[in-house]
Structure 1
Amino acid sequence: MYKKILLAFDGSPDGREAMAQAETLASRCDATVHLLAVVDAAESMLIGEAMAYIPENKQFVMQRVLEEGVKRFQRAGCVATSEIRYGRPAEEIVLCAREMGARLIVVGHRDQGALSRWLNGSVGESILHQPPCSVLIAIKPQRSASSVTPIQQAKARRKA
């Protein structure tokens, strides 16, 4: 089904959840996974003496994060590659998916308030406006107890 998966990965906790879900899918589908980190040049540039540049340590950190991700997929028995791109994340993710013929894009979901999402935007939402393939927005499972009483327990209480 999903033989080529593109995982947009930045090493964040949300990205790690996306990686875990992509790993499960890739293992079950015997898929090739391409990990993509996108450095948003507008947010990462330093300006000095009328020259703009992206600090080398940011690229080094992202490369290390991607290498760890590739090793994780390889330990799971999957073929994995990685790449760093520079630009607007949603645009680069869609472009990469088209270029590689991806069947699925996996991204994490960053929990933001409405104002923050409006100001900063949402990569996942932006991808959904022009998807070249299926998109999985990985959300962390809720670990809190539910206040909703299961239906069968409620029926059992009424009979007693």
Structure 2
Amino acid sequence: MYQDILFPTDGSDGAEYALDHAVDLAGRYDATLHVLHVVADVWYPDGDPEGFDFDASAVERHLRERGDRIVAEAAERAGEAGVDCETEVAVGYTPHRAIVDATDDVDLVVMATHGRRGLERLLMGSVAEKVLRLSETPVLAVRLPSE
């Protein structure tokens, strides 16, 4: 039924929980798990890096290294379960757009949702919600159980 499953991750507790579902499904269907982490563009408030006292390339490098660790840890967990895994860190994208673009070659997306509501949802937006609306590929949104 599923040959390729996309697992976008931000390294959060919710994503760690959703990874269990992704690995389980990939194992059941002998599917390849594609782990994706997105590093968005470094943003400048006025669109111009001049006048800011920080090195944007150092920030991007740090975020890339963090993304590399996140996907490596997910791949290790998949490997321990006997699941084939491929990883990617996409740099310079809007998270929901990178995820939707990656759905072209997969049969299912398994991703976490943070379950934001009200004003927090309005202000923060929801990557999972945007992926659910825009993806033509089925999406399994996994919510971290409340304590």
TM-score computed with the length of structure 1 as normaliser = 0.79
Aligned-pair CA distance for 1:40? 2.0
Aligned-pair CA distance for 1:81? 0.8
State the secondary structure of the residue aligned to 1:117: helix
Tell me how large the CA RMSD over aligned residues is. 2.3
1:44-63 superposed matches below 5 A: 47=49, 52-53=56-57, 54-63=59-68
Asked if 1:77 is matched to 2:89, the reply is no
Identity across the alignment (%): 30
Higher relative contact order (CA 8 A, sep 6+): 2
Larger Rg: 1
1:100-115 superposed matches below 5 A: 101-115=105-119
Compared CA separation, residues 128 and 44, structure 1 to 2 (3 A) = farther
Alpha-carbon distance in structure 1 between the residues aligned to 2:21 and 2:42: 29
- List runs of 5+ in structure 2 lacking aligned partners: none
State the secondary structure of the residue aligned to 1:10: coil
Alpha-carbon distance in structure 2 between the residues aligned to 1:142 and 1:49: 44
Alpha-carbon distance in structure 2 between the residues aligned to 1:126 and 1:11: 19
Aligned-pair CA distance for 1:113? 3.1
- Of 114, 121, 131 in structure 2, the residue corresponding to residue 117 of structure 1 is 121
- List runs of 5+ in structure 1 lacking aligned partners: 144-160
TM-score computed with the length of structure 2 as normaliser = 0.85
- Of 66, 70, 75 in structure 1, the residue corresponding to residue 71 of structure 2 is 66
Aligned length, in residue pairs: 141
Compared CA separation, residues 63 and 71, structure 1 to 2 (3 A) = same
Asked if 1:92 is matched to 2:92, the reply is no
Q: Deviations over 1:102-127 (max 9, x none)?
A: 00011101132311111121111111
